[in-house]
Structure 1
Amino acid sequence: MRTDHLDSWPETRVPFALLHGFWLLDDLLNVEVLHTALVTRDPQDVRIYDDYFDAMWGYAAEGAEATAILTRLAARNAVR
């Protein structure tokens, strides 16, 4: 699992995205939905989200490409 890397996912490149948040810390999974959160260490549950997270790294932009995406989004959302 990567713990020291920040990338950006371009809107046009991600084939699917979850409609809820989650985080993994070693073997601890926290899935956050609108009204509650699920916290588990079940290996099967952790594997599902770990595999999803690994798949998403394949779509991430890095370096100059990630900087360009974040700069464009910041400019588009700047208060005028």
Structure 2
Amino acid sequence: MKKLLFLIMIIALLLPCSDLLAQCSLCTKTAQQLGEGPAKGLNNGILMLAFTPLALMAFLGWRWWRSQRAN
């Protein structure tokens, strides 16, 4: 069951999320001037750059939780 939940979470994180808005106000203004195609690319790039540190923090938190639970 844990493996299935983990697999579902990974798939959900890797699916493109074009409906999410991950832009600051300055990036939004720039993206509006570029058009719809480049704006989606900019938004996806921001989301990809945000994924790595968030995944690293989640992994470290999980490792810490697991080591604390063992003690």
| Same-fold status (TM-score > 0.5) | no
TM-score category of the 2 structures, normalised to the smaller one: 0.3 to 0.5
TM-score when scaled to structure 1?
0.32
More strand by share: 1
TM-score when scaled to structure 2?
0.35
